[in-house]
Structure 1
């Protein structure tokens, strides 16, 4: 009975409040008891309900009032226009590959491997051990944990031929992911306003990092076998650039892998120009039918600035990478890193080191190679059957992606929206070109969740192309 009375009082007072001006005083509890012929407890219960709903304010010793309504005034940030000044380079705040697919969607747009391709057991155990160790309480050196520096140096030294001096641990700088490392490298070695040669198409994150660093990007066309050495040499000569960003192994997005001959010729061009080759070895752990050999193993004169990440192969939550550079270049990069982030989380470094030094790590990589091959081949077969108009430019020997050339005249943005409406997420190829796209392309990631849906995804893509 009391509940019914309380609800009746609340409903009646809500109607009265809606017509009353802000700040109006409500009748006293004694008056409400008399008006509604209810007990004081019932009236107090109704008042508490109105307070919780934000309709009234109680002021002890004064009374209860209709809550004042504050009209939100429009905020004016116009002054920032003059303070910030015009952007010299416009860049996107995020990539479309980072967008979250809806539940049940076929996601082939993202840039990270599915959870089942990660060494989950090793990661969880490593994080537990790292949390119990000293790394949980002390900051690491600016250049990183000595043991992790040594691991990265040893990895590269193992592939360095006799006659080439391998890198030492002191050449290594640990990074909180390769993205921030690219920004530091571009700022430190190229500097704002200066030219940077860059493969086209190439990693969208590198394009973004270059824009943020304010460098002048000069595209160098690169095909399934990498850039033409003669074209690269001409670009160095005409631009005066002193740095070239490239992905010699399993390039994102094309999956291209340079031949040993191309790699040797490109390195000779870089040496002749007195320049740096910024080698992004992001997919080092994702070989499928070949094993990558970094160009850095062919250089000990400091021309190659080598960057390798563990973020995709260990876990997206363990953002750990390293740059290996020699001479003054290394000191400039370290100075930029110290200014921007001071040091990298010791726990993440300790966990990453733990994972890659466990016996189970090599076992995981062997199984990963087989899984990636099965997924790649399934997606290729599905596209050939259901979307024959999507031309595969190259069967990648490693990496995570397929790069597809679409028929001329294809409206990419419309195609992406149409596929998304049908439950398939794909990535438009325009994001991987430093300048205007060379044609209509899309990138499909074959390492995402639910590979069993690849045939259906390819069917939807094929239908969208046909329409």
Structure 2
């Protein structure tokens, strides 16, 4: 709950409820207004918080009462065992990166930027303007709003050299977030039971999407500079795979950014094997130094299928992304998107378009990147000082994370639970490996809240590591 004028009321009533009998009546709204010298709206907000916590129940026209504990009885769901049968595929458990960020901890685990790094003013204004337009009630085209398709195409075209034919709006499919686009690509381009070459370590969401689609993962090692194209070529030939999923720009979790030479070599490899490169370009807005050109800007033969998301850079509430693909692959992906979602909310598309076409968007990106670079450097320095037995693989030139190799033999699960007991949330690296981990790692997010606590958080991680080793 946010720290506001209703907080003292909630705290006081929770203390009172702890000793009150079930069914006891709470003081009236008028009494609470007088005691706390606040408005009736503030009191109502406090009561709603208590209702949400399951401590209070309200009776319209009567009052608010301490909620009586309900007698629970065991439920028999055994019949579902026969109805469901054996699971056809094993989808991994939810990532620790999606665990809520609490205000009372130092959070390094989340995969999303802190609210203070988002263009909140632009987003709120865009929602207000959208509500006055037809986008609030109309059904958009299944491929996406034409204006938003044009924006995504123009972003990619701006980085395409003159010798390469740039994509057009007709090549763009707007999807409900990067995960939705990735799932559609795996269904359309790979299919159940067929192989997909994938970097290791890689984005945990890609591992989940592959499990959901029933795709067979064929991992290849990928270090701080990306994969070895010779290993990729050998793996494509050996596995018969016709698709390779990768993150050439600030990979999650390693932060790796492919050099132009590596991008050319990978592109040549997938062309030689008649394969697709599914390029997850989630971090293009988080480039902190240098230029990051998507591999898709080098290809006009339809080999690269490009995913670009706005969710993390605009707002988690605006789950809008795009898949850019050419040829028959475009139609197959669009068919999958239509089957799963029919269309993406026109309201969210309109908000996303409004934000990224405002003059303040570019100003926000410059400011956000400076802040992220400072946070990255602060966290990297803290790792060097307080985790001397760990190894920072590389200081990334973009993205949101540091990838830290722990000493051999470290029990990452014990480290994670020990850190949480000290009020520090971290994400163990195991879930970023599509096969067995090659060592113990931590992924530390430097875009989380309260950067002033980063040094203390890393110090506590170091203390915990000393305790368990």
Instruction: Place the TM-score, normalised by the shorter chain, in its bin.
Output: 0.7 to 0.9
CA distance in 2, matches of 1:417, 1:71: 33
Q: Quote the residue 1:153 is aligned against.
A: 153
Equivalent residue runs for 1:47-446 within 5 Å: 74-446=74-446
CA distance in 1, matches of 2:67, 2:93: 37
CA distance in 2, matches of 1:254, 1:85: 38
CA distance in 2, matches of 1:453, 1:333: 44
CA distance in 2, matches of 1:254, 1:182: 20
Q: Secondary structure at the match of 1:132?
A: coil
- Give, in angstroms, the shift of residue 53 of structure 1: 9.6
8 A Cα contact 1:311 1:318, kept in partner: yes
8 A Cα contact 1:389 1:465, kept in partner: no
- Give, in angstroms, the shift of residue 448 of structure 1: 0.4
Q: 1:144 to 1:379 in 2, by over 3 A?
A: same
- Give, in angstroms, the shift of residue 71 of structure 1: 8.5
CA distance in 1, matches of 2:387, 2:440: 15
Q: CA RMSD for the aligned pairs?
A: 1.9
TM-score by length of 2: 0.84
Q: Secondary structure at the match of 1:219?
A: strand
- Give, in angstroms, the shift of residue 74 of structure 1: 3.9
Q: Secondary structure at the match of 2:249?
A: coil
Q: Quote the residue 2:457 is aligned against.
A: 457
- Give, in angstroms, the shift of residue 98 of structure 1: 1.1
CA distance in 2, matches of 1:53, 1:154: 58
User: What are the Cα deviations for residues 375-411 of structure 1, in whole angstroms up to 9, with x where unaligned?
Assistant: 0000011111111122100110000000000000000
- Give, in angstroms, the shift of residue 369 of structure 1: 1.3
Q: Quote the residue 1:35 is aligned against.
A: none
Q: Which runs of 5+ in 1 are unaligned?
A: 1-10, 12-48, 56-69
CA distance in 2, matches of 1:442, 1:135: 42
CA distance in 2, matches of 1:54, 1:215: 48
- Give, in angstroms, the shift of residue 54 of structure 1: 11
- Give, in angstroms, the shift of residue 80 of structure 1: 2.4
- Give, in angstroms, the shift of residue 73 of structure 1: 6.0
CA distance in 1, matches of 2:383, 2:452: 13
CA distance in 2, matches of 1:172, 1:466: 51
User: What are the Cα deviations for residues 33-74 of structure 1, in whole angstroms up to 9, with x where unaligned?
Assistant: xxxxxxxxxxxxxxxx9xx9999xxxxxxxxxxxxxx98764
Q: Secondary structure at the match of 1:174?
A: strand
- Give, in angstroms, the shift of residue 85 of structure 1: 2.4
Q: How many residues align?
A: 406
CA distance in 2, matches of 1:190, 1:183: 10
CA distance in 2, matches of 1:102, 1:277: 38
CA distance in 1, matches of 2:180, 2:283: 17
8 A Cα contact 1:290 1:398, kept in partner: no
**Larger CA Rg, structure 1 vs 2:** 1
CA distance in 1, matches of 2:351, 2:292: 25
CA distance in 1, matches of 2:157, 2:138: 30
